[in-house]
Amino acid sequence: MESLLNTFAFLNVSQWNHALVVLVRVVLIAAAAWIALGAAQRLIRLSRERIARGMEDPEQVKRAETLGRVFRYVAAVVILVIAAMLILGELGVAVAPILGAAGVVGLAVGFGAQSLVKDYFSGFFILLENQMRQGDVVEIAGKAGLVEEITLRYVRLRDYDGNVHYVANGLITTVTNMSRGYAQSVVDIGVAYRENVDEVLGVMRETGAEMRADPVFGAKILDEIEIAGVDKWADSAVILRCRFRVRPLEQWNVRREFLRRLKNAFDARGIEIPFPHLTVYAGAARDGTAPPFRVCDAGAAAKGE
């Protein structure tokens, strides 16, 4: 009879009731975590949208979007960790020893994964100091491109060719941001030495004024063209420098359009855009006499003479 009772011990109603209660609690904790996660994500998104509506500066709007994304990530981690601890407690697993062991393991992992810890600390200060935001064009760790995503661990960039670069925050020592406030579109122009520099500078001013009056490019240019003047004497050209103060990320478009219009203006006025010139030295004999240098015309050169 005793063996028979042991066989049907699994039918003990009290044990089944306890297991059912634990199961119900686990399901309720998981459901509450899921609801809390959705509510936190929605609350953060609504708060970010409300704050962004009160901002007129596009740069501040981009910063709000970046911080909102990070807050959603942190909220998700916190809620999931708390839910996991509560579920383990309901299953009868002692949480305190796990936390103690996790602290020791975390310390050991921290020494072995210092670069990962460095990534998170660097990412935190990058966001805190507002060094870059989503939508900015930056150069970091030898890579340049549009910032598509910023997390506490990495920054995702997409360059002009469409390549995607993931840069760990720990590798970022210098951030060159090309999207803050305004940009300078610097243009270097080379003309032949025989050209009148003052005339060329006048053509550059006229072309810059035409772009400033243009309905499309005028909105991108914030100030009149600034002529720096003669920058240097190159091997085959006099280099003239100028620049435009433009809206962020418009420096390349303005530069390309200015070069296009200036090329047409130079062609119309006969101003030479130089090319490298080469002087050929035929050499000298040991006695110091140089052999005669034969100059052939274009027709002879074409015939191979």
pLDDT of res. 230:
95
Of 14-23, 194-203, 206-215, 262-271, the one with minimum mean pLDDT is 14-23
- Please check whether residue 38 lies inside any domain of the structure: yes
**Pair 130, 63: CB distance under 8 Å:** yes
Q: Same structural domain for residues 100 and 8?
A: yes
First-residue to last-residue Cα distance in the chain:
122
Pairing type for strands 175-177 and 238-246 reads: unpaired
143 and 190 assigned to the same domain: no
Model confidence at 163: pLDDT above 60: yes
Contact 214, 262 (CB under 8 A): no
Residues 210, 169, single domain; the answer is no
Same domain, 23 and 106: yes
Sign of the alpha-carbon dihedral angle for 107, 108, 111, 115: negative
Q: Which residues touch 171 (CB under 8 Å, ≥6 apart)? A: 140, 141
**CA distance readout (Å), 301 to 292, 294, 297, 298, 305:** 18, 12, 6, 5, 6
Do residues 172 and 140 share a domain?
Answer: yes
Q: Is the pLDDT of residue 277 over 70?
A: no
Q: What is the 3-state secondary structure (H, E, C) of the chain?
A: CHHHHHHCHHHCHHHHHHHHHHHHHHHHHHHHHHHHHHHHHHHHHHHHHHHHHCCCCHHHHHHHHHHHHHHHHHHHHHHHHHHHHHHHHHCCCCHHHHHHHHHHHHHHHHHHCHHHHHHHHHHHHHHHCCCCCCCCEEEECCEEEEEEEECCCEEEEECCCCCEEEEEHHHCCCEEECCCCCEEEEEEEEECCCCCHHHHHHHHHHHHHHHHHCCCCCCCECCCCEEEEEEEECCCCEEEEEEEEECCCCHHHHHHHHHHHHHHHHHHHCCCCCCCCCCCCCCCCCCCCCCCCCCCCHHHHHHCC
Indicate if 99 and 75 belong to the same structural domain: yes
Question: Who contacts 50 (Cβ-Cβ below 8 Å, separation ≥6)?
Answer: none
Q: What is the pLDDT of residues 74-103, one digit of tens each?
A: 788 888 888 888 877 777 766 666 666 666
Domain annotation covers residue 298: no
Is residue 283 domain-resident?
no
d(CA 236, CA 230): 14
pLDDT at res. 8? 45
Range of the domain at 133: 126-177
Q: Are residues 16 and 105 in the same domain?
A: yes
pLDDT 10s digits, 221-244: 999 999 999 999 998 899 999 999
**Per-residue confidence band for 145, with pLDDT thresholds at 50, 70 and 90:** very high
Same domain membership, residue 152 and residue 101:
no
Q: Residue 278 falls within a domain, yes or no?
A: no
| CATH code of the domain covering residue 9 | 1.10.287.1260
pLDDT of residue 105: 61
In the listed set 135, 150, 177, which residue is the last one of a domain according to the structure?
A: 177
- Residue 149, domain CATH: 2.30.30.60
| 36-50, 73-87, 127-141, 290-304: the lowest-pLDDT one | 290-304
Are 6 and 106 part of one and the same domain? yes
Would residue 155 count as lying in a domain?
Answer: yes
Report if residue 80 sits inside a domain: yes
- Type of residue found at 233: W
Same domain (yes/no): 204, 263? yes
Identify the CATH number of the domain in which residue 253 sits.
Answer: 3.30.70.100
Let me know if residue 71 belongs to a domain: yes
| Residues 197 and 251 reside in one and the same domain | yes
Whether 282 is covered by a domain: the verdict is no
Domain count, the chain: 3
Residues 33-49: tens digit of each pLDDT: 888 888 888 888 888 77
Residue 246 and residue 221 in contact, taking contact as beta carbons nearer than 8 Å = yes
**CA-CA-CA-CA dihedral for 165, 170, 175, 180, to nearest 10:** 80
Domain identity same for 232 and 259: yes
Q: Phi, psi at residue 167, to the nearest 5°?
A: -110, 120
